[in-house]
Chain A
Amino acid sequence: MNLDELEQLVALLQNSNVRELTLKQGDKRLTLRRETSRNDLQTEEPEMLHPVELNGFQVDFADEQAEAQAVVSAPYVGVFHHIRPMTGMGASVAAGQIMCAIQSMDILNEVAAPAAGTVVDIHVQDNQPVEYGQLLYTIQTKED
């Protein structure tokens, strides 16, 4: 990560209504937070930003709302399978609850929810091949 890239990120943050931005590469992590006044926040519409790739870095955005989200990503390489009953949009999950399975070398590896909450996004489809770290679900961990 060089200065130019950092500047791009700062610009991105300043021109957005996002309060916080996290970069991950390997096990390194960089978080940028924007100073906001209460006033600012009240005039803002809550908005969800999807994680994006920027120069190969995975960038997760987090605002006041998004701080209350957890993501479930693939801990194995393999084929994603829904379980029965399927964990669908809007489903409530408990921490540790099995959400899906990833089939790897004929073995079905179960994937558990990292936190309790409501499924607000499913990023993959049944029988889809997934790589390590691929985003599977977004969970809303706080009640609005």
Chain B
Amino acid sequence: MPKVIVDTNRCKGCALCVRACPKKLMALSTVFNAKGYNPAECIDESKCIGCALCGRACPDVAIEVYK
């Protein structure tokens, strides 16, 4: 199972990863990080194909993808 790790402190909740995921697996969480943003998370890694499009879409390079 691929793994999608979001650096929640780096994330600014812009949702570009959400837009990018072909499987619609990325979503913004409801918690706030230190800077007041809602960081993104992968809601179902089991469906993840490890394509890393979420990572590539992230302006803050806050996502690591393992496969």
Q: Do A and B bind each other?
A: no
User: What residues of chain B have their CB less than 8 Å away from a CB belonging to chain A?
Assistant: none
